[in-house]
Amino acid sequence: MQRVLCSGVGALVALWGMAGCGPKALEPGAIDVTTEVIALNPEAPDARALGELTYRGGLELFSTAPDFGGFSALEIHDDGDRILMLSDRGALVSADLVFDEGGDLIGLQNAEIYPLLNREGVRVHGREADSEGLAHLGDGDYAISFERDHRIWVYHFGTDWEFLGTALPEPFALPPGTELWPDNAGMEALTLDSQGHVWAGVQDPLVDGQPFTLWQFDEGGDPVAGALMGQPGFALTGLTPYGEGELLALTRYWSRSVGNRARILHLDTRHLSGALAGDVLAELAPPLSVDNYEGIAYAPSTSVGARLFLVSDNNFSDDQRALLISFSLNADAREDDAD
């Protein structure tokens, strides 16, 4: 296995929080991250095909930095070669993506970590810190959804992410009835589609196997209810834009007897009447490199072409892994051939 050591180069900024008083301090700025290249199928290391996807490299991530891990969402910078990962402990990790000559993901460089702040300028903590969804709204604005204290906040991180760790949030509209949601089953999925609509997906259906609740927010911030057909035992954990009027959705499954599963769905969102069915593009299951995948991001223009990324939430447990894996979509290749 290949291991690559990377460290951030940004200057450290002041600590947020005070020892023994308020939220735990997090030292913002450069951190060391070790990456280990992983195969799609450890039992068949050359295997790449997975449904409508082709594997383009993946990593297991390691760091001794506090609050590194628990990754619940991710976004790719507009330049296509930088990643922003959201921890469900109210922290953000940015890094440069490293690809080999063949276009496979082989490492990260220049990693940095920053806290999320609340509206008073103090690091989020306690019930307000369970950050789950991340969506780039354009012009350096990013929406983040939270569980337990169910809400959406919008931060201006800047077009070059120059305000990570210092941006203060503004509240975004909420769907009705959020006060009735369970603590740990809120808006895990969040994205902006090609039409400028924010989408939020609720993790669990009210009844297993019944439709997931989706919310589409119009330009005025008013939520319109929709639904995604349910998949027994699966939870909706991520959304990302793909094409005109299309989204890709990530759903995950876990049981003590079966372990982890993940599915990637293609959604046509141009009509909200009735529940969206979703076409299964791929499913990850053992013996493949599968863990608690919660974050998904489609990048149409990295330096090596269009890529789809998944990240897993290791729950800060030694029994789970923080994985970052990448794919190309066969549909993209077919479109390129047609051109």
If you average pLDDT over residues 151-179, what whole number do you get? 94
Residue of 306, 232, 293, 270 lying closest to 53 (CA atoms) = 306
| Cβ partners under 8 Å of residue 208, min gap 6 | 230, 232, 233
User: What pLDDT digit, counting tens, does each position of 280-305 carry?
Assistant: 999 999 999 999 999 999 999 999 99
pLDDT digits (tens, 9 = 90+) for 72-86: 999 999 999 999 999
3-class SS shares of the chain: helix, strand, coil, % to 5: 5, 50, 45
Q: State the pLDDT confidence band at 25, using cuts at 50, 70 and 90.
A: low
At residue 22, does pLDDT exceed 60?
Answer: no
Give CA angle at 73 (257, 228), nearest 5°.
70
How far apart (Å, rounded) are the C-alpha atoms in residues 197 and 324?
A: 27
CATH number reported for the structural domain that contains residue 282 in this entry: 2.115.10
Domain containing 217 equals 3-338
Query: What's the whole-number average pLDDT of the chain?
Result: 88
How confident is residue 339, by pLDDT bands cut at 50, 70 and 90? low
Q: What is the pTM of this model?
A: 0.90
60-64, 65-69, 216-220 — which one is most confidently predicted on average? 60-64
Q: How do residues 225-276 score in pLDDT, each as one tens digit?
A: 888 888 888 999 999 999 888 999 999 998 888 889 999 999 998 776 678 8
Which strands make up the sheet holding 141-146, listed edge to edge?
A: 131-138, 141-146, 151-156, 170-171
Q: What is the pLDDT of residue 10?
A: 34
User: What is the structure's pLDDT at 17?
Assistant: 37
- Who has greater pLDDT, 109 or 15? 109
Domain count, the chain: 1
Residue 191, both tokens: 């994205």
Q: What integer is the mean pLDDT of 62-80?
A: 95
Q: Does 65 score more than 90 pLDDT?
A: yes
Nearest to 268 by CA among 299, 302, 241: 241
CA distances from residue 122 to 21, 183, 221, 328 in whole angstroms, order as listed: 11, 22, 27, 40
Does residue 1 surpass a pLDDT of 70?
no
